[in-house]
Chains A and B, each alone.
Chain A
Amino acid sequence: MRKLLLALAALAACALVVPLGFGSSHREAPGISLDPSADNTDTYAWTAKDAPGALTVAANWIPGEVPANGPNFHSFDDRARYYVHVDNTGDGRPDVSYRFRFKTKIRNKESFLYALPGASGYNDPKLNVIQRYSIDRITYHGKKKHRSEKVKTVARGLPVAPPNIGPKTFPNYQAFVDGANRTLKDGTKVFVGQRDDPFFVDLGATFDGLNVRKLTGNQGEGKDDLSGYNIHSTVLQIPERLVTKNHRSVSGADASNAVVGVWSTTERRKLQVTDSRSRRGHGGWVQVSRLGNPLVNEVVIPLGKKDQFNRTTPNRDAALYGKYVVKPELAAILNALFNVGAPENDRTDIVQALLQGIPMLNQHSGVKGPPAVDTIKLNLGVPPADTEDRFGVIGGDTAGFPNGRRLGDDVVDIELQVVAGFLKGNKVPLGDGVDRNDKPFLSSFPYLAAPTSGFDSAPSTRVEPGHAPVPAGG
Chain B
Amino acid sequence: MVTRLIAPLAVFGAVLVAMVALNNGATTPPALSAGGDARTTAARADKLLTRARETGDATLYARAERAVDAALRQDPGEVVALNAAATLAGLRHDFLGQLRYGRRALRAEPELASPLTAIFDGQIELGRYGDAARTAQRLVNSKPSLPAYARVSYWRELNGDPEGAVRAMRFAASAGGSPQSSAYVRALLGDLELSLGRLGAARAAYRDALRDVPDFPQALTGLARLRSAGGDLDGAAALLRRSTQRLALTTSLTLLGETESAAGRARAGRRHIAAARAVHAADRAGGGYPDAEAVLFETNHGSRERAVRLGRRVFRRAPSIRSADAFGWALTRAGRTEAAYAWSRRALRTGSRDPMLRLHAAIAARRTGRRQEAERHMAVARGGAALLSPLARRLLG
Contacts and interface: CB of A to CB of B under 8 A. Distances in A.
A36 interface: yes
The main secondary structure of chain A at its interface with chain B is loop
A273 B93 contact: no
B92 to A, nearest CB: 10
A16 interface: yes
Interface in A4-24: 4-6, 8-9, 11-12, 14-24
Contact of A430 (B8, B20, B117, B124): B8
Contacts of B176: 35-37, 77
Nearest to B52: A22
B175 A77 contact: yes
B70 to A, nearest CB: 20
Which of A26, A29, A329 has most B Cβ within 10 Å?
Answer: A29
Nearest to B120: A29
Given A22-B249, A33-B26, A334-B11, 11 more contacts: A16-B54, A17-B177, A26-B320, A29-B150, A31-B118, A33-B146, A72-B212, A208-B30, A276-B163, A338-B4, A416-B8
Given A17-B24, A29-B150, A416-B9, A268 B145 contact: yes
Interface in B90-149: 90-91, 93, 108-114, 117-118, 121, 124-125, 133, 136-137, 140-147, 149
Contacts of A30: 146-147, 150, 177-178, 180-181, 184-185
B250 A23 contact: yes
B47 interface: yes
Given A298-B19, A334-B8, A303 B79 contact: yes
A456 interface: no
Contact of A340 (B7, B17, B19, B32): B7
B29 A78 contact: no
Which of A25, A272, A288, A298 has most B Cβ within 10 Å?
Answer: A25
Nearest to B207: A112
12 contacts: A6-B20, A19-B90, A29-B121, A31-B147, A32-B143, A207-B30, A208-B30, A303-B22, A307-B111, A333-B14, A334-B8, A416-B12
Interface in A31-55: 31-38
Nearest to A216: B5
A214 to B, nearest CB: 10
Interface string A209-224: 1101001110000000
Nearest to B166: A276
Contact of A26 (B47, B108, B322): B322
Interface of A: 4-6, 8-9, 11-12, 14-38, 71-72, 77-80, 109, 112, 203, 206-210, 212, 215-217, 268-274, 276-277, 281, 283, 286, 288, 298-299, 303-308, 310-311, 329-330, 333-334, 337-340, 342, 416, 419-420, 428, 430, 432
A303 B16 CA distance: 10
A27 B53 contact: no
Contacts of B56: 20, 22-23
Contact of A18 (B118, B178, B291): B178
Given A212-B6, A303-B79, A333 B11 contact: yes
B167 A276 contact: yes
B247 interface: yes
A33 B147 contact: yes
A271 B11 contact: no
The main secondary structure of chain B at its interface with chain A is helix
Contacts of A35: 145-146, 175-177
A38 B30 CA distance: 26
B246 to A, nearest CB: 10
B180 A12 contact: no
B279 interface: yes
A276 B204 contact: no
Contacts of A25: 250-251, 291-293, 296, 322
Interface string B145-163: 1110111101110010101
Contact of A32 (B28, B114, B121, B280): B114
Contacts of B211: 71-72, 112
Contact of A5 (B19, B93, B150, B292): B19
Given A11-B29, A25-B296, A18 B53 contact: yes
Which of B11, B12, B13, B140 has most A Cβ within 10 Å?
Answer: B12
A270 B26 contact: no
B4 A303 contact: no
Contacts of B47: 14
A432 B283 CA distance: 46
Contact of A270 (B24, B54, B91, B144): B144
Nearest to B164: A276
A298 B16 contact: yes
Contacts of A432: 9
Contact of A268 (B19, B109, B144, B212): B144
B25 interface: yes
Nearest to A299: B15
B41 interface: no
B90 A28 contact: yes
Given A8-B29, A207-B32, A268 B121 contact: no
A7 to B, nearest CB: 10
B113 A32 contact: yes
Given A28-B90, A206-B10, A304-B112, A12 B20 contact: yes
Nearest to A62: B176
A268 B175 contact: yes
A189 B331 CA distance: 70
Interface in B200-240: 204, 207-208, 211-212, 217-218
Contacts of A303: 18-19, 22, 79, 109, 112
Given A30-B181, A268-B144, A286-B142, A20 B22 contact: no
B288 interface: yes
A33 B279 CA distance: 28
Nearest to B11: A333
Contacts of B249: 20-23
B141 to A, nearest CB: 5
A305 B111 CA distance: 6
A281 B167 contact: yes
Contacts of A283: 140
Nearest to B79: A304
Given A26-B291, A29-B151, A307-B143, A15 B180 contact: yes
Contacts of A80: 175
B389 interface: no
A34 B24 contact: yes
B168 interface: yes
B83 interface: yes
B174 interface: yes
Given A8-B29, A27-B154, A38 B20 contact: no
Contacts of A306: 19, 22-23, 112
A17 B8 contact: no
B379 to A, nearest CB: 21
B83 A337 contact: no
A273 B133 contact: yes
A103 to B, nearest CB: 12
B58 interface: yes
B247 A38 contact: no
B39 to A, nearest CB: 9
Contacts of B110: 304
A80 B167 CA distance: 15
